[in-house]
């Protein structure tokens, strides 16, 4: 993840932290079986990120969308900037650090895409 993407995530998390703590919204709730005691706490940043990745409603509510997907062979080949006659194999691409994943982060109508 690059610095711009990290900045967007930090902004979204700060927004979550400020607003959720005043309204007791979107907390992690834990209750032991057979117990009346309920533990509630706010998501830590990593938990918040994972929740945004995996829970569409939560993601939409806090305005942070994180999409990750694997790149196809053809997409990776284009990143190599080789001629159409050259067919690098996956091992060559791995050795030459050709990205395998596309990450797109959107927050407040700003989208940043990167390859890893």
pLDDT tens digits along 59-79: 999 999 999 999 999 899 888
The least confident of 29-38, 49-58, 77-86 is 29-38
User: What is this structure's pTM?
Assistant: 0.79
Q: Radius of gyration of the chain from Cα atoms? A: 19
SS3 67: strand
For position 68, what pLDDT does the model report? 94
| Tokens read off for 98 | 């050709």
Pick the closest to residue 100 from 80, 61, 74, 70 (CA basis).
Answer: 70
SS3 63: coil
Is the distance from CB of 49 to CB of 66 less than 8 angstroms?
A: yes
SS3 8: helix
Say what percent of the chain tops pLDDT 90: 56
């Amino acid at each position: 993840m690059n610095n711009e993407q990290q900045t967007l995530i930090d902004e979204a998390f700060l927004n979550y932290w400020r607003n959720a703590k005043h309204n007791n919204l979107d907390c992690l709730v834990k209750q032991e079986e057979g117990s009346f005691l309920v533990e509630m706490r706010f998501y830590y940043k990593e938990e918040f990120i994972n929740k945004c990745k995996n829970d569409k409603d939560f993601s939409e509510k806090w305005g942070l969308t994180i999409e990750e997907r694997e790149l196809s062979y053809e997409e990776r080949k284009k990143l190599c900037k080789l001629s159409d006659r050259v067919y690098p194999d996956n091992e060559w691409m791995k050795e030459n650090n050709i990205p395998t994943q596309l990450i797109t982060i959107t927050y407040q109508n700003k989208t940043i895409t990167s390859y890893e």
